[in-house]
Amino acid sequence: MMRGPSLIAGATVFPIAEALATVGRRDRITNEVPNIDLTTLDAAHAISRKHAEVVLKDGAVSVRDVGSTNGTFVNDERLQSGQDHALRDGDSVSFAGILFKYRAEATWPEVKETPAAVTAMPSLAAFAAVSNSNGAPVVVAAPPPTHSESTGEMCSVHDHIRAVVMCSGCLQSFCAECVSLNHPAPLICRSCTGIVQRVGSGSRQDHAS
């Protein structure tokens, strides 16, 4: 079993195996996934899509914020955007309140190859793991795409209608009955007053099964 530098939050382990790893959450519009994907840990939707970067160079690890909204912290000290901060074993690293412990050497979970994507070195997101009852790390396979991911996002209010816009702030989706597409840009979210972006055609669909 491989060992190396890692960011650890409870039973979740993110090995630091790449020269440059992006930290953030999945973009629901473009479906772009960062190397260290914190989407499942981000219940408060506080993580920016492009939040931070972790750099591995000559065996040393550093972290930098890349203009996130809610900040990157090392030992409770907020980093300035673009500032590289060298990590030492035992440092606490927080991305918008999601707390990790940095370990210079920790056991990496095994990665099981799947027919869908077999690579020589999987992205760091593939390493996210939990521990089984014996304490051994077990990789959790990604679930199959949901109805909205495979066929288009459905409206958060009218769940039988395809969404035409999505708010980048609260991540809610709305159909043409919720917003006026003839309204001059920018379109405003009816929930949080953030800016929304067009995502689909808005045709009626049956309820997702």
Q: In this predicted model, what pLDDT tens digit does every residue of 167-179 receive, in sequence order?
A: 776 777 777 777 6
Asked if 112 and 171 sit in the same domain, the reply is no
Asked if 26 and 125 sit in the same domain, the reply is yes
Predicted confidence band at 27 (pLDDT cuts at 50, 70, 90)?
confident
Position 174 scores a pLDDT of: 74
Asked if 93 and 155 sit in the same domain, the reply is no
Taking the C-alpha atoms of residue 114 and residue 142, their distance in angstroms, rounded to an integer, is: 10
Encoded tokens for 140: 């959790």
- Among residues 98, 119, 139, the one where a domain terminates is 139
- Among residues 139, 156, 183, the one where a domain terminates is 139
Position 76 scores a pLDDT of: 96
Asked if 82 and 158 sit in the same domain, the reply is no
Asked if 176 and 85 sit in the same domain, the reply is no
Position 111 scores a pLDDT of: 64
Number of separate domains in the chain = 2
Position 192 scores a pLDDT of: 65
- Residue 141 reports pLDDT greater than 60: no
Asked if 80 and 59 sit in the same domain, the reply is yes
CA quadruple 62, 72, 98, 148: dihedral sign: negative
Contact call for residues 162 and 201 (beta carbons, < 8 A)? yes
Taking the C-alpha atoms of residue 63 and residue 100, their distance in angstroms, rounded to an integer, is: 12
Asked if 209 and 117 sit in the same domain, the reply is no
Contact call for residues 158 and 44 (beta carbons, < 8 A)? no
- Among residues 122, 139, 156, the one where a domain terminates is 139
Q: In this predicted model, what pLDDT tens digit does every residue of 45-89 receive, in sequence order?
A: 999 999 999 999 998 999 999 999 999 999 999 999 999 999 999
Position 162 scores a pLDDT of: 78
Task: Provide the domain limits for residue 162.
Answer: 145-209
Contact partners, residue 144, CB within 8 Å, separation at least 6: none
Asked if 13 and 93 sit in the same domain, the reply is yes
Predicted confidence band at 37 (pLDDT cuts at 50, 70, 90)?
very high
Length of the chain: 209
At 77, which CATH number? 2.60.200.20
Predicted confidence band at 133 (pLDDT cuts at 50, 70, 90)?
very low
